[in-house]
Structure 1
Amino acid sequence: METRSKQLHSGSLYWPHTISKVPSYPTLNKRISTQVAIIGGGMTGALCAAVLAKTGISTVLVEGGKVASASTAANTGLLQFSNDIMLYELAEQIGELKAVQFYKECQRALKALAELASSIPFDTGFHVRKSLYYANDVIDAAKLYKEYMLLSKYAFPVGWDLPEALARRIPFRKEAALVTRGDAEINPVRFAHGLIAQAAWNQVRVFEHTRVQEIQRKNGAFIIHTESGEISAHYIVRASGYLPGINNPSRIKPILQRSYAMTTAANAVPESWPGDYMMWETARPYFYFRTTPDGRVIAGGLDEERQDPVTAEHELKVRTDLLITELQKLFPDSRFEAEYAWCGTFGESEDGLPYLGEDVEQPGIFHALGCGGNGTVYGMIAAEMLKDYVNGRKHPLTSLLAPGRSAAEQISIII
């Protein structure tokens, strides 16, 4: 049986304070049946539920705690078609055409997220943004230019800035920067709640405080046992990192780490902030920065190869002060203080791609594990792949993102 951290975040989270009336859903206390059972009420589960709700497919979503309260609440809400692994690096790994196809799907996912956000009848904090991806040194500038050339080759919306042009845009000096357009920011908690509320309105049955205890296979269907109920389902969607009764397929090897983030008080964005830009850097692990509609700055980074969030208050303060120091370096004429600060667990994969789809070891179980820093975008791709899967169609990324993939299989895909 696999394990994972029971505590997914620590500290004080910002997003839950932005929603005054939190929707609630009942606890499952009876036997029900459905075509699809989504286990996990975070962002990925919410996206899967919202997409299936439009298809008329009978769907149930269960969450062990409160929906939108686990990793989703610690999400910093940056949505980008670029990934932790650069396009040129991914091309070297799996081939240029497959790498471009993956990036194009991320770009399409952003447009789909925008459509979903516009359909929610309250503000989800979705705003189209540009991203400023800056190089920390000359070596990284060369890598970034290589990335720019490949993105340009395939008509991605990118631009290139050298120090002289950057100096007119930002108050700090960097070797070079790549600018991407068509990215976005979002309030993940409000967005996830909006998606689940819409799904429930469209006949998706949603249950909170419904913890899965065991899953059995019986007469061609899955029987999901909860603390006080039971679900019979043809398909299971694994939209949480761990489910009782479901081991990882042998080749799913998520790498769990922890990261830090902080949010300033309102109206703290410097006048010299570069317009509607989000910012991140080429260093690994990297720092990233965005703003909020009420004028806060969110800074994140300081990734560590540890699974559990820090629990000691003084340890969290040390990391928070480091985030503020990095922000201060970029805007030396401003002063920042953290109003909220937290540490959260996140997962990565060995090849930098998410694990999405059915695995041959576990037929009928759809894994939606969005490993990496682009989890919401991956969640959107997972939802579209799930829709195709249940309808008997093969999504273009099925082979590339298969949970049971190996490095050798990735190479065979491009031959």
Structure 2
Amino acid sequence: MSMDSKTAIPKCAPSNPFAERAISVLHLCNVYFPSGSVESIVDIITARTSGLGCKHSLLSLEKPSIHAPLWNRVQHGRELAGRFQRCIGSRYNPFSVLLGIRKACAINEVDVIHCHMGWALVVGRIAALLLRLPLVVTFHNELGRYNPGVRWALKLLPQKRCVLTGVSSAVCQQWESWLRRPVELIPNPLKIDSCTKSNLKREHNGPVRLVVVSRLTAIKRVDFSLRLLKALIDAGTAAELVIVGDGPEGSALQNLTEDLGISKHVSFLGFQSDVSGCLDWSDYFVLSSLYEGFCMAAIEAMARGSLLVAHRLPAISDYAQDGVNAVVTEECSVSEWCSRIKSLEQDRSQLFGMKYAAWRLVREKFAPDLVAQHYARAYDGLLAACK
């Protein structure tokens, strides 16, 4: 289940009849709102991998208008990298979805179906069975985030002609326990070409800059970030907070901002298709969620020089180490977070050292080419086993 990011990955040897040509992979996902997990699929599709070549296509089980910025990026990636074959939108209907999958498989001469997230896992299993194609399943969330019907349906995944992967150790462990079979750890990738070391050193002497990038839902507990800002200001530390994202808790959070008397220090930016500018601006990325499957936003923050401030979530244990590359406390403690930030502000060399450690880890572990090569080996091994 483990994957050592520092170990060189050998090129894939031609071990199956498909190795003479690029393996054609159809990715299935469902998109209900802008998602880091779906962005990561596009990163895999557009990665320029070495070793065994793959060509990719993507079918989304939703109306493409829900995620217009994603489709724009996909089409742009198709022009640049030549990795994207076709984008097919399907309505949330099992019959039209299966017809869409069949059409996509025929057009792209698909060798492997790769399913991501929710209902796509179930419909992908049915399509693979009907079309007699091998299947790769990637779990982006822990077991409890899937409804009982999906969880029990996944018990029927075949032992043969199927490879299971998960994006974090916590995700892998839960699904291994439930399915009683191995789940390989392959993290989500992050494009890091523009994340340079120069981002790490603060260029300003103004207020401490906090940022939150999140859906504004109860499970994300964004109110902790507002209370942290209040604590810093009350302790005599000038600070500002930018909140990026939208959701049902937006109005309540704005009301809380008024109640705490910190309105002039807080900016609500709503949904942003590109958060890199906000992360570059910030000094600290605050994560207070009750649950995360992987948290791509935290990885991107670490890559762009915004130090992660969080509590001990299973999902971040693969990459966040307290005092090494992040501030990680046992619980969401406003007072402890405030104290740790004030201490780091007084010791800029330690702050820079932690940011550098985070930046380096992301480059070593989450580069798209590296992750894409792991998937290429999984496809290669699966097809070889199906001979």
TM over 0.5: no
Which has the larger strand fraction?
A: 1
More helix by share: 2
* TM-score calculated relative to the size of structure 1: 0.29
Query: What TM-score comes out, normalization by structure 2 length?
Result: 0.31
Comparing both chains, which one has the higher relative contact order based on Cα–Cα distances under 8 Å and sequence gaps of 6 or more? 1
